[in-house]
Structure 1
Amino acid sequence: MSHSPDRHDQTAASGSGEGQSRGKPTINDVARLAKVSKKTVSRVINESPFVKQKTRDAIKAVIAELGFTPDPQARALARRKSFLIGLVYDNPSPQYVVNIQRGILDALEGTDFQLVLHPCDRTKPDHVARVRAFVQQHKPFGLILPPSVSEDELLARTLDEAEVDYVRIASVQLDSPSRMIRTLDGEGAAAAGRHLAELGHRQIAHIHGPLSFRSTHERRAGFERALHEAGLSLQPDMAVEGGYTFEGGVTAAEQLLNQPSPPQAIFAGNDEMATGAYVAVRRAGFRIPEDISIVGFDDTPIAGRLWPALTTVRLPIREMGSAAARLLLATANGAVARQLVTFEPEIVVRGSTATPHKA
């Protein structure tokens, strides 16, 4: 069955009703004061290009004056989209993905929106085509893109061309404030470096994530900056990739411990790798923190469950997911964010770090 686009747009944009003249302003109020039809107001709300700029400006001025806010769910219908928020991710850390999901669900609680997941593999040549197919099939209200999917410029351009709203979470600003949640990963890693240097460690190693992740480079750069401030440096043989996974952390730590001069301390780029480092360090007969101090990144639940509890850099991942969902809904509702939403990590000192052991 076919539907009239104009009638559909009118109904969708009107929100909670058309006959109200008191209380919450309606599309009728906007049309009356702007001296245009409801259909024209609906077209402006739904970003139709078929409205003259002068008329568009007049309608937007009335909307601002009245404080009229169309229901984002209704706008989704007008744009022929579902009530689904898509999380598109390619992240080797399961806990990171779980925390992002929890944050999004926090923001969607009490609404009609639901979360749908789309795991992907950026190394595959048809990665972007698969995301495009997902969008065409589910017609999501919008997408949330955590690292490293958020760093894919080809994907961002593809979503723009498909007129799909999205919010990116990344360690650097890649887009406008309406489409970005920025995490200051470099500052958090610098805090880890300062902490270890202040304890008196001099032979400090770093287990980093995949080189395809911007966060890997941001965290390493921040860490090295802090070491440089303390008159130290990260030696080439003290930097090993761990892939952001537990298994990678085990392997990387074993490589570091096999060096002629094993490190006094290890900064792992996430808690998964730090947990792997615990295993390798103990297998090698070293004690934590008496022989080797370990610092992680993210402050996932495992950090407080290890023994001794892991000193780590807390990145509020759940809050980031919630903020991304709220930003997506606000942007789709016509709001334009002027200020970048930023999350700054902080170090949480626990039992896995101490002053160097004196032989």
Structure 2
Amino acid sequence: MTDDDATVAPTGHRPGKRPTINDVARVAGVSKKTVSRVINQSPFVREETRIRVTSVIADLGFTPDLQARGLAFRRSFLVGMIYDNPSPNYVVNMQQGVLDALRGSGLELVVHPCLRTAPTVVADIRTFVERQKLFGVILPPSMSEDERVIAVLRDLDCPYVRIASVSLDAAGSMLVTNDHLGAAEAGRHLADLGHRRIGFISGPALFRSSAERGGGFRRALAERGLTLDERYVAEGAYTFESGVDAARVLLALDPRPTAIFTGNDEMALGVFKVARDLGLEIPRDLSVVGYDDLPMASRVWPNLTSVRLPIRDMGRMAAERLLAPMRGLDPADLGQPEVLPSLVVRDSATAFKA
């Protein structure tokens, strides 16, 4: 025991000295960060903890330094959505879901599109979060997969929810979409229709969903005794244009594929365009299956068979998770919600006829 230790009063602060935030934290048995949250009236504190810290503050006669408090990182009434998804339909549906959850909460949505490969992306996100003093952040894929961004949010003590195809974080901060399950349904569907020469247009390699969807598709074909020929695999970018480019490559092969599965609906529409340009009729000459089941899937002709990922619901669920502390709930106690994709069979895929 040091002399300084010997002078500490049972209450946890030294007699004759103005109590500090460290004294409050020590007596209350919490971190300095928690005390700061209580002082700044953050909703992200359990009620029993708030009461205990408030009581200790009163007992010690602690008065926060107003100047320091003014400089503290205080929250606004803004929820940020940081994304790099190139599909505008995906982004709009996700935003709608977030807005569904925010309605009536007093919080507003602010979006921050970015390019994950940009050299300044992490610094730009830090500036965005600090400048807006965000209440919290929602991260769709693939920003949800970038640990550099997560490190920034943790450093800024900014709550977040990650949406990803696999679990990447604590249950309270995750929404898992199980992309491999949906892709497996697509693979089994095409195999059961009798297709053996099947093409696959993946999303960009940077997206974890690309690997998950590709892996699930391959495993399902293997279950049916089939192997995906790498000559019939092309990488897209989750955009219509990349679907066009990839389809031109695949449909120029001899023999060409009798069916193509695409990593999202945007690229499936690119396949539709190339097929039409080549005089091929869908599904008579080429079966096509997409992923996401965006509203466009039922608005094109023939209607697109697609794996349904409830994107709007995902945005709502992520935002509700972010708002849980405002409603007296601890996200860690809510478990880890999971989305189960499902195949919606329409008219763009049919049985193979030799």
**How far apart are residue 302 of structure 1 and its match?**
0.7
TM-score scaled to structure 2, two decimals? 0.81
Instruction: Give the AA of the match of 1:230.
Output: R
- Counterpart in 1 of 2:254? 260
Letter in 1 for 2:219: R
2:55 match:
37
> Are the aligned partners of 1:10 and 1:38 in contact in 2 as well (CA < 8 Å)?
no
Aligned counterparts of 1:39 and 1:346: Cα–Cα separation in 2: 53
Distance in 2, Cα, partners of 1:119 & 1:86: 10
**Is 1:335 aligned to residue 353 of structure 2?**
no
Q: For residue 343 of structure 1, give the secondary structure of its aligned residue in structure 2.
A: coil
Name 1:311's counterpart in structure 2: 305
Q: Describe the shift of the 1:318–1:133 C-alpha distance in structure 2 as closer, same or farther (beyond 3 A).
A: same
- The alignment status of 1:199 with 2:217, answered yes or no, reads no
CA drift of 1:88 comes to 0.2
Q: CA RMSD of the aligned region, Å?
A: 2.7
Taking the aligned partners of 1:334 and 1:40, their CA distance within structure 2 comes to 26
**Do 1:192 and 1:295's aligned partners in 2 also have CA atoms closer than 8 Å?**
yes
Tell me which residue corresponds to 2:228.
Answer: 234
Check 1:40–1:293 CA distance in 2 against 1; reply closer, same or farther (3 A cut): farther
Structure 1: runs of 5+ lacking an equivalent: 15-26, 42-47, 49-77
Separation in 2 of the partners of 1:11 and 1:127? 29
2:344 aligned partner: 348
Quote the Cα distance in structure 1 between the aligned partners of 2:180 and 2:218.
Answer: 10
- Shift in alpha-carbon separation, 1:307–1:340, aligned structure 2, 3 A: same
Alignment gaps of 5+ in structure 2: 1-20, 22-34, 65-71
In the superposition, relative to structure 1, how do residues 98 and 40 fare at CA in structure 2: closer, same or farther (>3 Å)?
farther
1:292 to 271, 277, 286: 286
Secondary structure at the aligned position of 2:332 is classed as coil
1:139 to 125, 133, 136: 133
Determine the structure 2 residue equivalent to 1:179.
173
Please say if residues 205 and 266 of structure 1, whose CA atoms lie closer than 8 Å, have aligned partners that are also in contact. yes
What is the rounded CA distance, in whole Å, between the counterparts of 1:336 and 1:321 in structure 2?
16
Pick closer, same or farther for the CA change 1:156–1:13 going to 2, 3 Å: closer
Per the alignment, residue 248 of structure 1 pairs with: 242
Deviation at 1:336, TM superposition (A): 3.5
2:236 maps to amino acid:
G
Distance change in 2, residues 1:156/1:9 (3 Å): closer
Matches of 1:7 and 1:153 in 2, distance apart?
A: 26
Once the two structures are superposed, the pairs formed by residues 108-123 of structure 1 within 5 Å of their partners are: 108-123=102-117
- Structure 1 residues 152 and 10, CA, compared in 2 at 3 Å: closer, same or farther? closer
Once residues 37 and 289 of structure 1 are traced to their aligned partners in structure 2, the CA distance between those partners, rounded to angstroms, is: 70
Contact persistence 1:181–1:342 (CA under 8 A) = yes
TM-score, length basis structure 1: 0.80
Q: Where does residue 12 of structure 2 map in the other structure?
A: none
1:80 aligned to 2:74? Answer: yes
Superposed displacement of residue 337, structure 1: 2.5
**Do the aligned partners of residues 261 and 81 (structure 1) sit closer, same or farther apart at CA in structure 2, a change above 3 Å counting?**
same
C-alpha distance in 2 between matches for 1:139 and 1:35? 24
Corresponding residue for residue 62 of structure 1: none
Which AA in structure 1 matches 2:190?
L
Residues 82 and 112 in structure 2, CA contact (< 8 A), matched pair in contact too: yes
Q: 1:136: how far off?
A: 1.1
Q: Deviations over 1:189-230 (max 9, x none)?
A: 000000000111110110010000000000000000000000
Structure 1 counterpart of 2:187, one-letter code: G
- Shift of the 225–151 alpha-carbon distance from structure 1 to 2, 3 Å rule, reads same
Question: Are the aligned partners of 2:173 and 2:331 in contact in 1 as well (CA < 8 Å)?
Answer: no
TM-superposition CA deviations, 1:3-62 (whole Å, max 9, x none): xx9999568479xxxxxxxxxxxx79x85xx69728479xxxxxx9xxxxxxxxxxxxxx
Structure exhibiting the larger radius of gyration computed from Cα positions: 2
Determine helix, strand or coil for the equivalent of 2:80: strand
CA-to-aligned-CA distance 1:87-141 (integer Å, 9 cap, x gap): 0000011111001100000000111000001011111111000000001110000
The one-letter amino acid of 2:292's match is: D
Distance 1:164-1:357 versus aligned 2 partners, 3 A rule: same
Which residue pairs with 2:11 in the alignment? Answer: none
Could you tell me whether the CA contact under 8 Å between 2:321 and 2:331 is conserved in 1?
no
Distance 1:202 1:157 in 2: 45
Shift of 1:330: 1.2
> Whole-Å Cα distance in 1 between the matches of residues 167 and 39 of structure 2?
37
Distance 2:57 2:89 in 1: 47
The percent identity for this pair of structures is 50
Describe the SS at the equivalent of 1:169. strand
Letter in 2 for 1:141: F
Taking structure 1 as reference, are residues 130 and 227 closer, same or farther at Cα in structure 2, changes over 3 Å only?
same
Letter in 2 for 1:205: G
Measured at CA, do residues 36 and 101 of structure 1 come closer, stay the same or move farther in structure 2, by a change above 3 Å? closer
Structure 1 residue 153: Cα displacement: 0.5
- Gap change, CA 1:36 and 1:162, over 3 Å in 2: closer
Distance 1:222 1:161 in 2: 35
Following the alignment from structure 2 to structure 1, what is the Cα–Cα distance between the partners of residues 165 and 189? 21
- Tell me the equivalent position of 2:124: 130
- Determine if contact 1:142/1:164 at 8 Å carries over to the other structure: yes
